[in-house]
Structure 1
């Protein structure tokens, strides 16, 4: 019975720790604190070196949980990434994910050697441990701070964060092998790198195709689609590692393949993975926090701080500027991407590997990596939103996103039911704007279900449900969000609908059914104004985009921040006239039916 009591107490304490991590996230969101730091702090306070006094020293459990968590996080990242959004930034992102990681590790090596008094191979291993970034924390902070990154910068960081972990993990495992069982030639190491990467890519592509095929062809019980996808992702990861391929690269590519194919229960899969990855991230960081001895951190504190500052101020910036030099990024974009190189999950996870294989001085890697992550989250994590604004890399979210409900429709894959509450200032209510690929199907009013003709006209407080392609459902948000009245209500300076200057031509063309050249799809509206005008934009400037006239509603420093969309005929878009509004009804009917 004593053994059963021990298990029950362990379950109770573990559950309470996870609950503490979840509830503390509310405090972190309120004050903008990096969540990973909060979860680590919960583990440290509960651990043997903290006031909680819980003894936990099982590195094997921490490594296993960390592997599962990282596999699911990478799969979820691939699932949410669209080929269309990464095509234009694939080359620079891959440079950052490979050459950038290597340059960062190499520049950190000599500093680690002399600051910590270790050998060259040990220093290179430490450089590899802290070389990869954790962009997931960055995007949480940006969302909590009400910011949207410029599309090109966001896409670059997203792809880099999904692809740099496998390379860093491979480099660290290679160096651990060198230190533990003897060296191998660099030609063998390079061959192993390409072999593992190629095999991992093949397993990931094949695994993703199989997951999508089974999901669409096999009739599973209601609610099992999402668990099937999550467990299948772990199968891909485990199989890749079992055959000595890059399991992390395989699972990321599997998510990329599944996310870019039409699959059954798409929305439930995304929601489930979102929840499970959050839970796994909390569990992983609480466990890693439990492994830390705060008193032991002081032994290498000075050297660890030097390594952290080198990473932030030298190694990461040099790697970013070197890798992005051929791709015509602006210096502000390079500087921001450099500063966003937060260290997080992978660094501490990799630092646990020397502990697992019992390398001499293994605690040094873990303690230094932990201090590096703390400094990165404290300094970079708390200033990333401010730096995004200062470097003009983001736009404030002026309007809160509407509450969206997505329902899968069994029997087909091309449409889902998307529902919204109708707000009083939404473009849908004020002007009846809706894209031609979305079809209103039913309206709920006063707990009654009505057809669109029965409900006409739609009123404030109604709930509208539309049929729309799953990959475009999120684009409907802008038609149902609050659209506040402009400060200057001059008709000649405003459009029928307002979007941010950071929106891309591709996104706009997708919604309005326009044709845009492939090399212009990722260009922002602000940059399109500058390109078309040949000079800095001024408020009131107009450029044409197919059947839409783009009006510069608000301009800051020569860059358009708010763009009005006037749904006029092309010939009417060339000039501003009082009669242009008369064309609105006809053009809206033509565009949206």
Structure 2
């Protein structure tokens, strides 16, 4: 067996083990991220398979690519209507909350590791972002549903705080290596440029994707996911090339795309969710390989001290200071503080000092890795109990809809037939492309002897008979008028 086949065999086995072992998360509440990291460590140089891997550059490249699709998938699965009411609080946590957390963590690092203030701030910036994707996986496994505004707030914070942590890490690292290269004012300017360009690019690419999908009419469904992958990579690279934050851009693009209807939307969301899982498994296995477990005991006391400080002091202070004027209750703020679960991004960022040749890079990486493990174990395993203790769960009674009288029953007079005539303006167009209101439902299409259950990607053809449900006669007339034949 040559090397390629051996690598493919090991990769396949590790990925299958990761997927199967994720059942432990469902059954025992063990965070899946911890399992993926553990498998990577077992396969590494100090583990069972003894795979020697110390390529920080490759690990960072894998992490960057993975983060692109994890963020886009998270954005694509995020409802704009859900996050809109908590937009202010979410963005505040993603910016000021990250800064406060980094500053408070730096205090403990300065005295526990005897770092310089700049190195302490660097480690604080690296560990400052959260990974609530792991939190929601645990909550779903335990059957816990959070109160309405908590879930979208945590979702928004976790998806949008990574760009801030990345910016702070790069800025502080460059200040350490090139102290004369730029001033504080220049970095503030770069900050606004990155977030402005990234935000605009992400929004534009996000609102353009649905109409492109609705009009491109590709012959094979499999080409739509390919197009979306290329679109996301184009967005990230173009945004970064123009000086913007590519990670923020892809996350915003996902949210903006989700806010509009387009063909194969449900399937594409499912595809990118699966792709995000592949990326999470790949990055955690890679990062698990990169760490040498035999190096961890030496830094364990200091790392545990920093981790406990982060969990019980730095994160809560950052949350409460940021949300001082928020209407959230004390219990809700406390739960947000506890949901400061660390994940892939801090470990990916911990490779940056390696590539920059920083003298303390190995100590920083091992410390960050240990903190992430501690955070996943302590916060991840206790999350369901904390949610119940703080009473932030949605009550079961509120999930059961109360019996109500249907004001507008579906009567036969609300069902109407309409034929697509020759030269109709909608021939060759998809249902999603028309952006029909929710009150105008096409229930069935009869095409010759075939009866078709319509979807967003269904194209209209001449002679189609549409079975339409619409209670508003004026709305029905208005829409079908737009279906009229094109003037020659």
TM-score by length of 1: 0.68
Match of 2:417 in 1: none
Task: Provide the C-alpha distance between the structure 1 equivalents of 2:150 and 2:440, rounded to a whole number of angstroms.
Answer: 29
Cα distance in structure 2, aligned partners of 1:302 and 1:111? 13
Q: Distance in 1 between matches of 2:92 and 2:211?
A: 32
Q: Are positions 1:24 and 2:21 aligned together?
A: yes
1:185 aligned residue: 183
C-alpha contact 1:215 1:264 (8 A) present in aligned 2: yes
Q: Distance in 2 between matches of 1:164 and 1:150?
A: 22
Counterpart residue number, 1:244: 243
Select the residue among 85, 90, 93 that pairs with 2:87.
90
Deviates more, 1:215-224 or 1:53-62: 215-224
How far apart are residue 19 of structure 1 and its match?
Answer: 1.4
| 1:398–1:468 Cα change, 3 Å | farther
**2: CA distance between counterparts of 1:59 and 1:51?**
21
Query: How far apart, in 1, do the equivalents of 2:19 and 2:9 lie?
Result: 15
Report if the CA contact (8 A) 2:104-2:314 is conserved.
yes
Provide the residue aligned with 1:263 in structure 2. 262
8 Å CA contact 1:78–1:255 kept in 2: the answer is: yes
Q: CA deviation at 1:224?
A: 1.2
C-alpha deviations, 1:223-282, integer Å up to 9, x for none?
Answer: 211221123112211222233321111111111111112212101111110111101100
Aligned residues of 2:214 and 2:430 also touching (Cα < 8 A): no
Instruction: Give the secondary structure class of the aligned counterpart of 2:78.
Output: coil
Partner of 1:488: none
Deviation at 1:365, TM superposition (A): 1.5
Contact 1:438 1:467 in 2 (8 A): no
- Following superposition of structure 1 onto structure 2, how do residues 441-590 of structure 1 map, counting pairs within 5 Å? none
- Structure 2 distance, partners of 1:397, 1:12, is 46
Shift in Å at residue 436 of structure 1?
Answer: 7.3
Q: Aligned with 2:145: secondary structure?
A: strand
Give the corresponding residue for 1:547: none
Give the counterpart of 1:155 among 144, 152, 171. Answer: 152
Task: Provide runs of 4+ in structure 1 moved above 3 Å.
Answer: 395-401, 435-442, 465-470
CA contact under 8 A between 1:133 and 1:341: conserved in structure 2? Answer: yes
**Offset at 1:414?**
7.2
Of 232-241 and 105-114, the range deviating more from structure 2: 232-241
* Residue 29 of structure 1, CA deviation: 1.7
Out of 163, 166, 169, the position equivalent to 2:163 is 166
- Match of 1:326, SS? coil
Structure 1 residues 174 and 392: CA distance shift in structure 2, 3 A: same
Q: Deviation string for 1:558-579 (max 9, x for gaps)?
A: xxxxxxxxxxxxxxxxxxxxxx
In the alignment, which residue of structure 2 is the partner of 1:298? 297
1:318/1:469 CA distance change after superposition, 3 Å: farther
The answer to whether the Cα contact below 8 Å between 2:118 and 2:172 also exists between their aligned partners in 1 is: yes
Q: Shift in Å at residue 62 of structure 1?
A: 1.2
Contact map agreement 2:263 2:456 (CA 8 A) in 1:
no
Instruction: Provide Cα deviations, 1:166-203, integer angstroms capped at 9, x if missing partner.
Output: 01110001111122233421111111101111111121
Query: What are the superposed Cα offsets for residues 205-234 of structure 1, whole Å, 9 maximum, x if unpaired?
Result: 222233233222212232211221123112
Q: Which residue of 2 aligns with 1:289?
A: 288
Q: Partners of 1:240 and 1:468 in 2: how far apart?
A: 34
Distance 1:124 1:377 in 2: 22
Unaligned runs of 5+ in 1: 402-408, 417-434, 443-449, 452-464, 471-512, 514-593
Alignment partner, residue 137 of structure 2:
140
Q: Take 2:398 and 2:38, find their aligned partners in 1: how far apart are those partners?
A: 33
- Matched residue of 2:123: which SS? helix
Instruction: Provide the rounded CA distance (Å) in 2 between the counterparts of 1:272 and 1:400.
Output: 29
After superposition, the C-alpha distances for 1:98-140 in whole angstroms (9 at most, x for unaligned) are 0000000001111101101111100000000111100000000
Corresponding residue number in structure 2 for 1:234: 233
CA distance in 2, matches of 1:144, 1:368: 29
Following TM superposition, by how much is the alpha carbon of 1:305 offset from its aligned partner in structure 2, in angstroms?
0.8
Aligned to 2:64, the other structure's residue is in SS state helix
- Distance (Å, rounded) in 1 between the aligned partners of 2:290 and 2:50: 12
Root-mean-square deviation (Å): 2.7
Task: Quote the residue 2:110 is aligned against.
Answer: 113
Whose strand fraction is larger, Structure 1's or Structure 2's? 1
CA distance 1:399–1:21, change in 2 (3 Å): farther
RCO (CA 8 Å, sep 6+): is it higher in 1 or 2? 2
Instruction: Give how far 1:10 is off.
Output: 1.4
CA contact (8 A) 1:204 1:251 kept: yes
Q: Is the 8 A contact 1:437 1:468 kept in 2?
A: no
Matched, 1:413 2:432: yes
- The equivalences for 1:260-409 within 5 A come to 260-395=259-394
Instruction: Give the match for residue 81 of structure 1.
Output: 78
Give the CA deviation at 1:468.
8.7
Tell me the residue number matched to 1:72: 69
**Structure-2 change in CA distance of 1:352 and 1:396 (3 Å):** farther
Deviation at 1:415, TM superposition (A): 9.6
8 Å CA contact retained: 1:355, 1:362: yes
Distance 1:330 1:98, change over 3 A: same
Separation of aligned partners in 1, 2:328 and 2:397: 27
Task: Supply the distance in 2 between the matched residues of 1:214 and 1:274 (Cα, whole angstroms).
Answer: 21
| Alignment match, 1:462 | none
Deviation at 1:398, TM superposition (A): 9.4
Instruction: Tell me, in whole angstroms, the C-alpha distance in 1 between the residues paired with 2:103 and 2:310.
Output: 11
1:128 partnered with 2:125: yes
The answer (yes or no) to whether the contact 1:77–1:252 under 8 Å persists in 2 is: yes
* Equivalent residue, structure 2, for 1:502: none
Q: What are structure 2's unaligned runs of at least 5 residues?
A: 401-427, 458-471, 473-488
Q: How does 1:49-60 map to 2 (within 5 A)?
A: 49-60=46-57
Q: Residue 49 of structure 1 aligns to a residue in which SS?
A: coil
Asked if 2 retains the 8 angstrom alpha-carbon contact of 1:135 and 1:161, the reply is: yes
What whole-Å deviation, never above 9, does each CA across 1:513-542 have from its counterpart, x for those lacking one? 9xxxxxxxxxxxxxxxxxxxxxxxxxxxxx
Match of 1:104 in 2: 101
2:351 is paired with a residue whose SS is helix
Q: Distance in 1 between matches of 2:197 and 2:444?
A: 47
